[in-house]
């Protein structure tokens, strides 16, 4: 372990990974990028690089006059340029003769299917754009979208983009209360929702939740309801309309008008750990350029032959950038799936991959660790040989989860791209390029071409080795343009810790080869006898034990050591191991200081709806505190069970 004083490390880096995976020769032969020239080009002149991407990947109605205006902390990109985002995602492909190409292979959870071509999607988007206009939506207005994973979600987003209204998508799993807050903050005029959607074999009601929200959302003038669940709903005369009625009556032609490059494209609310949700603002030109660029090169997209599947929900930024805008701008064919991975069986995802011949697959570490828990036999039931690239996003991916993904899903032949980014960054920032980058399991590797990242210590001084705070040093095209209605908070939250740098709260470490390893949120770093240990490294060590599928680690107050490491562990199906053996394993793997004081075995962990472990709650449980707000939990019964176990488990003495 390095001496923290000498190297100015602010997080002690505890473990180093030696496995390496160069791009397979056969893969690199057909890859869009197979060497470092793109990095060199971008390093020489990042703005010039982005300008070339903007010209290659996006069709502009009016060329820009300035590539980037940077007035810290505000950037504008492709200034003076005009484009229509929906035109870029739809019309230009149809004009190029690709109207017959499938945009979405949609699969409902019950097994029903729809095949939607680019021509189909363009037709429906034009109609719905006219519907929105008919309901009084104008350029600059906000439209709220609260839908299950149905194609109409993409239609509604693109229809907004077409007429210059900003959408604000609220994940369908959020409560009526969260929906009302977000509608009111955005002062949305129209709400697009559904009667209900399918989840784990049942219909979950959405319109009734929307109705509850609508009792306190004075800005909403009209509600459009997609029929999906078939559940009974109440429609308010004059305010509520069935989507299919409006579409059937709509004018089929709605020309795409050019919008300013900096036209607001959408708001997306992040809850963060404290305070009221922030409406992250994304605009049009720069956002589309970086979404398209990263989708194309990180997945090595060959749109004529690829079938791409991102398993996120459209309610998250991953769904915005990598189900809707990036893939459609690139003319890709995607799978869109409505439901959960374990309906009707634990192999649903693998059956979908086999069915549609998915080539590029993008999912989250939380899902991968769940698949590990369910066992190797599930993917083994299916032919996954169509797969070519595997992506990961949302959390640090533990090296063993990476290895499992690589072997059991990728058959040992597919590059794994671990992509670091945030709602605020709009698009991927740190990731391998699969034909060019030698990967290491658990590392997001390097900033993408055109992106500048640096680790700093507590004083904002750059760190060349070991652990520190991840900052971004240059503006990038898809960066957030602010927080809706709260410019001060934007400056305070992201630009005030380290002068001149963007900091959004993640720790990371650099190894000898300059690879970046994300260490999780700095709020989660534990202080054990003066050692600053990242939860990620201890979790990864636990997951490296063959009996362990998933682990969550927190620092709980401790009279002797300041904080003590408490671990919650989920075992792989059928596996057993005792607490002492696991503690010894961590001690041998990364050092005695990192040995958990107490380990609880649990069937489940508290997670947010987007799958991130809620360490704050686990800390509360470990410190015996009353729990605060648990409404954002995916499954609130998990915490009660953990509290019960905490009450009876023996502690190390
Ligand atoms: C936070 C952003 C980016 C879309 C989904 C989440 C964590 C994200 C990684 C990764 C390690 C990651 C970070 C980041 N995160 N990707 N590849 N490795 N951590 O978007 O909800 O805005 O969350 O997710 O902590 O700050 P988000």
Of the candidates 590, 608, 528, the one whose C-alpha atom is nearest the C-alpha of residue 560 is: 528
Compute the distance between CA of residue 295 and CA of residue 301 in angstroms, rounded to an integer.
7
Give the residue with greater pLDDT, 621 vs 134. Answer: 134
Distance from residue 277's CA to the centre of ligand 1 (Å): 17
Provide the pLDDT for residue 330: 99
Q: What is the distance, to the nearest Å, from the Cα of residue 404 to the centroid of all Cα atoms in its chain?
A: 21
In percent, the amount of the chain with pLDDT more than 70 equals: 95
Per-residue pLDDT band at 1 (split at 50, 70, 90): very low
Strand arrangement of the beta sheet that strand 462-463 belongs to: 462-463, 453-456, 466-472, 502-510, 516-521
User: For residue 310, is it within any domain?
Assistant: no
Element containing residue 192 per DSSP (H, E): strand 190-194
Q: How confident is the model at residue 275 (pLDDT cuts 50, 70, 90)?
A: low
Tokens of 84: 């229509």
Torsion-angle region of 466 (φ positive above 0: left; ψ -120 to 50: alpha; else: beta): left
Atom of ligand 1 nearest to the CA of 518: 11
Query: Which has more confidence, 651 or 431?
Result: 431
Local structure of 332: helix, strand or coil? coil
For residue 187, CA distances in Å to 165, 180, 191, 226, 477 come to: 12, 10, 11, 22, 27
Of all helices (H) and strands (E), which one includes residue 507?
strand 502-510
Q: Which of 239, 264, 289 is the last residue of a domain?
A: 264
Q: Which helix (H) or strand (E) holds 339?
A: none
- Residue 653's pLDDT band (cuts 50, 70, 90): very low
Mean pLDDT across 369-388: 97
Q: What is the mean pLDDT of residues 552-572?
A: 93
- Residue/partner pairs of 631-637 with CB below 8 Å, 24 or more apart: 631/175, 631/177, 631/178, 632/178, 632/271, 632/608, 633/606, 633/607, 633/608, 633/609, 634/173, 634/606, 634/607, 634/608, 634/609, 635/604, 635/606, 635/607, 636/606
Q: What residues does 310 pair with on adjacent strands? A: 362
Q: Token pair for residue 559? A: 């009279």
CA-CA-CA-CA torsion sign (636, 640, 645, 651): positive
Beta strand 142-146 with 190-194 is: parallel
277: in domain: no
Task: Provide the residue count of the chain.
Answer: 653
Structural domain includes residue 259: yes
Rounded Cα distance, 349 and 354, in Å: 9
Place of tokens 């904002």: 460
Ligand 1 lining (C-beta closer than 6 Å): 270, 316-318, 393-396, 418-423, 444, 504, 506, 518, 521, 610
Q: Closest ligand 1 atom, CA of 397? A: 18
Strand-pair category, 166-169 with 264-270: parallel
Do residues 572 and 375 lie in contact, with contact meaning Cβ atoms separated by under 8 Å? yes
Write the CATH number for 623: 3.30.300.30
Which residue is closest in CA terms to ligand 1's atom 24?
394
- pLDDT, position 504: 86
258 CA to centre of ligand 1 in angstroms:
33
| Poorest-pLDDT segment among 92-106, 145-159, 189-203, 578-592 | 578-592
Instruction: Tell whether 398 is covered by a domain.
Output: no
The three-state secondary structure class of 132 is helix
CATH of the domain at 153: 3.40.50.980
Range of the domain at 610: 525-648
Residue 239 lies in a domain: yes
Cβ-proximal residues to 420 (8 Å cutoff; 6+ apart), any chain: 393, 428, 429, 430, 431, 444, 506, 516, 518
Beta-carbon contacts of 339 under 8 Å, excluding residues fewer than 6 positions away, are 108, 109, 149, 198, 199, 200, 348
| Ligand 1 atom closest to Cα of residue 421 | 3
Residue 310: φ, ψ to 5°: -110, 125
On whether residue 218 sits in a domain, the answer given is yes
State which of 264, 293, 318 marks the end of a domain. Answer: 264
Angle ∠(309,320,198) on CA atoms, nearest 5: 65
List Cα–Cα distances, 596 to 2, 185, 555, 579, 653, in angstroms: 21, 43, 9, 9, 12
Its sign, for the CA torsion 396, 525, 18, 445, is positive
* Torsion sign, CA atoms 226, 230, 236, 241: positive
CA gap 177, 210 in Å, rounded:
9
Q: How far is the CA of 318 from the centre of ligand 1 (A)?
A: 10
Residue of 332 and 623 predicted with greater confidence: 332
Specify the residue with its C-alpha closest to ligand 1, atom 6. Answer: 394
DSSP codes joined into one string, 451-487: --EEEE-TTS-EESSEEEEEEE-S--TT----BTT-H
Residue with tokens 């680790």: 455
Phi then psi for residue 84, to 5 deg, are -120, 125
Q: Give the total number of structural domains in the chain.
A: 2
Q: What is the number of the ligand 1 atom nearest to the C-alpha of 430?
A: 17
Q: Is residue 147 part of a domain?
A: yes
From 278, 290, 311, 421, the mutation candidate for ligand 1 (largest count of ligand atoms within 8 A of CB) is 421
For ligand 1, atom 20: residue with the closest CA:
422
Ligand 1 pocket test, candidate residues 169, 173, 393, most atoms within 8 A of CB: 393
Instruction: Give the tens place of pLDDT for each residue, 151-180.
Output: 999 999 999 999 999 999 999 999 999 999
- Whether the per-residue pLDDT at 626 is higher than 80: the answer is no
Atom of ligand 1 nearest to the CA of 392: 17
Give, for ligand 1, the residue of 315, 394, 448 to mutate: max count of ligand atoms closer than 8 Å to Cβ. 394
First to last CA, the chain: 26
* Angstrom distance (rounded) from CA 98 to CA 333: 11
Distance CA 432, CA 358 (A): 20
For atom 23 of ligand 1, which residue has the closest CA?
A: 422
Distances (CA, A) of 570 to 363, 399, 414, 540, 610: 20, 17, 27, 13, 19
- Report how many helices (DSSP H) and strands (DSSP E) the chain contains, helices first: 23, 30
Instruction: Taking the CA atoms of 570, 571, 572 and 573 in sequence, report the sign of the dihedral they define.
Output: negative
How far apart (Å, rounded) are the C-alpha atoms in residues 85 and 422? 21
Confidence of residue 274 (pLDDT cuts 50, 70, 90): low
Q: Whose CA is nearest to atom 18 of ligand 1?
A: 396
| Contact in structure between 617 and 632 (CB atoms under 8 Å) | no
pLDDT tier, 609 (very low <50, low <70, confident <90, very high otherwise): confident
If you compute the radius of gyration of the chain from its CA atoms, what whole number of angstroms results? 24
pLDDT in tens, 470-495: 999 999 999 999 999 999 999 999 99
Which of 112-121, 129-138, 439-448, 642-651 comes out lowest in average pLDDT?
642-651
CA of 520 from ligand 1 middle (Å) equals 8
Q: Is residue 232 part of a domain?
A: yes
Q: For the whole model, what pTM was predicted? A: 0.93
The pick from 395, 520, 535 for probing ligand 1's pocket by mutation, whose C-beta has the most ligand atoms within 8 angstroms, reads: 395
Domain boundary among 218, 237, 264: 264
Nearest residue (CA) to ligand 1, atom 10: 420
Percent of the chain whose pLDDT exceeds 90: 87
Residue keyed to tokens 């290659």: 56
Instruction: Compute the distance from residue 423 Cα to the ligand 1 centre, in Å.
Output: 8
Residue whose CA is at the smallest distance from ligand 1 atom 14: 422
Distance (Å) from CA 612 to ligand 1 centroid: 9
Return the bridge partners of 259, or none: 83
Q: How far is the CA of 374 from the centre of ligand 1 (A)?
A: 24
Q: With bands split at pLDDT 50, 70 and 90, how would you rate the model's confidence at 14?
A: confident
The whole-angstrom separation of Cα 358 and Cα 311 is 12
What is the largest distance, in Å, between two alpha-carbon atoms of the chain? 74
């Amino acid at each position: 372990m390095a001496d923290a004083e000498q190297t100015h490390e602010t997080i002690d880096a505890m473990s180093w990974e030696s496995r390496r995976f160069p791009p397979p020769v056969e893969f690199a032969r057909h890859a869009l990028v197979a060497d470092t020239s793109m990095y060199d080009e971008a390093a020489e002149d990042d703005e010039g690089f982005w300008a070339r991407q903007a010209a290659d990947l996006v069709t502009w109605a009016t060329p820009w006059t300035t590539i980037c205006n940077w007035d810290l902390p505000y950037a504008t990109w492709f200034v003076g340029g005009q484009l229509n985002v929906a035109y870029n995602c739809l019309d230009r492909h149809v004009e190029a003769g690709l109207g017959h190409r499938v945009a979405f292979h949609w699969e409902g959870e019950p097994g029903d299917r729809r095949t939607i071509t680019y021509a189909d999607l363009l037709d429906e988007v034009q109609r719905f754009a006219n519907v929105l206009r008919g309901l009084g939506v104008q350029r600059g207005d906000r439209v709220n979208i609260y839908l299950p994973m149905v194609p109409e979600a993409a239609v509604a987003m693109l229809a907004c983009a077409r007429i210059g209204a900003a959408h604000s998508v609220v994940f369908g799993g959020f409560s009526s209360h969260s929906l009302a807050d977000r509608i009111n903050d955005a002062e949305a005029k129209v709400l697009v929702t559904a009667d209900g959607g399918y989840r784990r074999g049942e219909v979950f009601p959405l319109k009734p939740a929307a109705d509850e929200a609508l009792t306190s959302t004075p800005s909403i003038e009209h509600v459009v309801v997609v029929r999906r669940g078939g559940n009974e709903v109440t429609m308010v005369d004059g305010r509520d309309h069935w989507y299919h009625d409006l579409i059937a009556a709509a004018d089929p032609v709605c020309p795409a008008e050019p919008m300013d490059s900096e036209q607001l494209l959408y708001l997306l609310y992040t809850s963060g750990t404290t305070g009221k949700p922030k409406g992250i603002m994304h605009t049009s030109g720069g956002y589309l350029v970086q979404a398209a660029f990263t989708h194309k090169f990180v997945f090595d997209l060959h749109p004529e032959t690829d079938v791409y599947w991102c398993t996120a929900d459209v309610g998250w930024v991953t769904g915005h950038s990598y189900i809707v805008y990036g893939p459609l701008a690139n003319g890709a064919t995607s799978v869109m799936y409505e439901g959960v991975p374990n309906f009707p069986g634990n192999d649903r995802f693998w059956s979908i991959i086999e069915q549609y011949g998915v080539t590029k697959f993008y999912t989250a570490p939380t899902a991968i660790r769940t698949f590990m828990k369910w066992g190797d036999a599930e993917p083994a039931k299916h032919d996954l040989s169509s797969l070519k690239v595997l992506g990961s996003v949302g959390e640090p991916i533990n090296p063993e989860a990476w290895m499992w993904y690589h072997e059991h899903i990728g058959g040992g032949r597919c590059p794994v791209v671990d992509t670091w980014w945030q709602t605020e960054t709009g698009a991927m920032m740190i990731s391998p390029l699969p034909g060019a980058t030698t990967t290491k399991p658990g590392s997001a590797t390097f900033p993408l071409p055109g992106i500048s990242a640096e680790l700093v210590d507590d004083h904002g001084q750059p760190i060349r080795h070991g652990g520190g705070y991840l900052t971004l040093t240059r503006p990038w095209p898809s960066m957030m343009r602010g927080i809706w209605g709260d410019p001060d908070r934007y400056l305070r939250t992201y630009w005030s810790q380290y002068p001149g740098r963007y900091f959004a709260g993640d720790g990371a470490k650099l190894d000898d080869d300059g690879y970046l390893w994300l260490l999780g949120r700095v709020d989660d770093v534990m202080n054990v006898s003066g050692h600053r240990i990242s939860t990620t490294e201890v979790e990864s060590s636990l997951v490296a034990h063959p009996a362990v599928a998933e682990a969550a680690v927190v620092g709980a107050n401790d009279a002797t050591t300041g904080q003590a490491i408490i671990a919650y562990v989920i075992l792989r199906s059928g596996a057993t191991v005792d607490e002492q053996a696991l503690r010894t394993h961590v001690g041998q793997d990364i050092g005695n200081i990192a040995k958990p004081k107490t380990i609880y075995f649990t069937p489940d962990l508290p997670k947010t709806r987007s799958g991130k472990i809620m360490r704050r709650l686990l800390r509360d449980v470990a410190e015996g505190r009353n729990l605060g707000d648990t409404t954002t939990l995916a499954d609130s019964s998990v915490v009660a069970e953990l509290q019960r176990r905490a009450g009876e488990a023996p502690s190390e003495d």
